[in-house]
Structure 1
Amino acid sequence: MRPAASPGGGRRMSPGEEALRSLKRPRHPVDPGSGSDSGSSSDSESDGDFVSDLRQIACLLRLIKSGANKDRQKMCEQIIASVAANIQTMLEDTKSKFEKERQNLLKVLSGTSKEQCESSLNEEYTKLQETYEMFCEENDAHLQTFKDLFSQVEVEKKKLLEQYQYQREETATLSEFGDTFSEKITNAKPSPKRMKQTSFLATPSRLKLNDQPILFVPWLETPLPAKYCILFSQDDKSFIIFCKSVGSYLECASDDDFDLDDE
């Protein structure tokens, strides 16, 4: 980097150049006629000048070193900036190339993926339609089966209700018969004395009216004609069976009143 120009229009000198210029200036001349007294003073002055020159040289070296360090730092910064710019440019180029390739790949994939998606959707729709049709058929079959079962259940229910009603009626009838039979059994148990008193009156007998045989039955208002007496006259057992039948029918005579072994 070049140093800045001086205000007078010339080039401005650096501190190192100013120190070198001061070293090149001529020292003050020594008067030879001054004698020995002036010799010692001149030696001391020369030593002081030498020390000052050394100091100036050291200062100059420091300035040169600092300037070199500054120049080196600036150069490094410039190099780093240029490298960073190059890297940024390369990154942008790579990014643009990658974006272009990505766009191209997306276009290719979009075309192929669209076709694949359409084919996959068609296949899935076909499968779904087949499954739905199968479900509808099975649903109809199951519904028909349920309807048949329900109708059978209704028929069985009606049968069971009819059986229950019939059994209920039978139970009621049997209970009525039981009550009736109980009453009849109770009424059919007369005392032995009464049975003995009424046994003769309740027993049919063969009599004669106007020398004509007749059959007298106490339960009948009129005697039976002679033909019945003729029928029973042939066999006494028949007569006894007839009497027992009539007596059991009219519930007025007991079966014990007639003994088949009497004759």
Structure 2
Amino acid sequence: MSAAKRSGKGRGKATDPLMSGKKMRVDEELDAELDLSSDIKGIISALQQIREKAQKDGQKKNEETIGCVASEVRAMLDDTKSKIEKDRQTFTKALTKNSKECESLLRSEYAKFQAAHEKFCKDKANFIQAFKEIFSKFEDEKEKLFVRYEQQRKREKSALSEVEKACTSKITAAEESLKKKKQDDRSFSILRKSLGSFLDNGSDDDYGPMTDRHSSIHLCAPRALLSQLFCRRGSPPASPTNFLILVIL
């Protein structure tokens, strides 16, 4: 153990210069690192300056670009606005012109319509007055015609009544005549039958031919004479008085 200790101690002594050298190197490295860090800081500061400058330059360029674009946009907007204003003015002029023409035509047509309306109202009043006069005239005529109709109807009724009475009287007289004729025919038939039966009892030889001094007609026997008088077709009927006169003759 003592030998080991000794050897350890001897190594310790031998390694001291190495340790000091390493320490020096470390210090140098630290110094170098310190110098390097200061350089880096300088570089970083320079880079920051460059960056700031670049940012400033970029900002200027951006501002210039934006300004250029803004001016172009403003110019385009101004041109468009000017064009729109011009178009609006043209449209306004056309609209004003059309409005004036339309207003003028409307006034002219309204004046014509007003004149026509006034004329129509005047003609309407005249027509209505004429219609009223016509209706009044024909109302009077209607009343007169109605009175005439009533009078004519009364006259016709009276005439029909008179005709009816005359017809009734004639019919009654005809009926009486027919009744009388029928009675005469019945009396004549009875007389003929009576004379026929009476003459059948006599002889025709008792009577000779006789000559009428007023006519050259030969009278036949009474029976033949009666036969000719009453049995001949188409001969008019004779009354009993005429028959008796003929028989006596």
- TM value normalised by structure 2: 0.42
The structure with the largest helix share of the pair is 2
Which one has more relative contact order, counting CA pairs under 8 Å at least 6 apart? 2
Higher CA-based Rg: 2
- TM value normalised by structure 1: 0.40
